[in-house]
Amino acid sequence: MDRRVADIRRSAFEFIQGIERLFTTGEIMDAMGALLKKHGFEYHCVSFLATTTETLDDVLLSNRLPEEWLKLYIEREYVHDDPAFRYAKTVVRPFRWFKESPYDPEREPRAAEVVQRARDFGILDGFLSFNCGQDGPNMVRRSDARSAGAPIASPAPHGDLFV
């Protein structure tokens, strides 16, 4: 096993063991952010997958994203054009959103706009993993990196980055 993957997995288990000592959502998000930053991820958010009538505001549970990026994302309603969230509705395994979220920039200019605007804010790569319900993925954990070379682990086949 790749040493980086082993380090990520060990850190994840340490996080899980320590979570019982945390009392607020903010403490949990800060601890998760510290863990992710240690492995090259600058930003993260947790949300449900939006239906066609929901906005990101409706489904966002918590986030540590650049404030101006989040504001723009919500104002422009990118949640329905974001290739990563769209792809997340079709798979049940974690994936790298930059490399694996299919879209055609010619036919899908809004998807291309989402990707370009993310880059404008320094978000160059990232990883989505899920909590799955009976009907498939319903909650998304998104971690974003400021470089395309972040040490992102290979997806586990059962749907969690950290196992």
Question: For residue 159, what pLDDT is reported?
Answer: 36
Whether pTM exceeds 0.85:
no
- What dotted CATH number matches 42-145? 3.30.450.80
Q: Is the pLDDT of residue 46 over 60?
A: yes
> Phi/psi at 130 (nearest 5 deg)?
-135, 160
Cα–Cα nearest to 25, from 66, 63, 68, 69: 63
Q: Mean per-residue pLDDT for 110-122?
A: 92
Does position 122 have pLDDT exceeding 90, yes or no? no
Tokens of 34: 């510290």
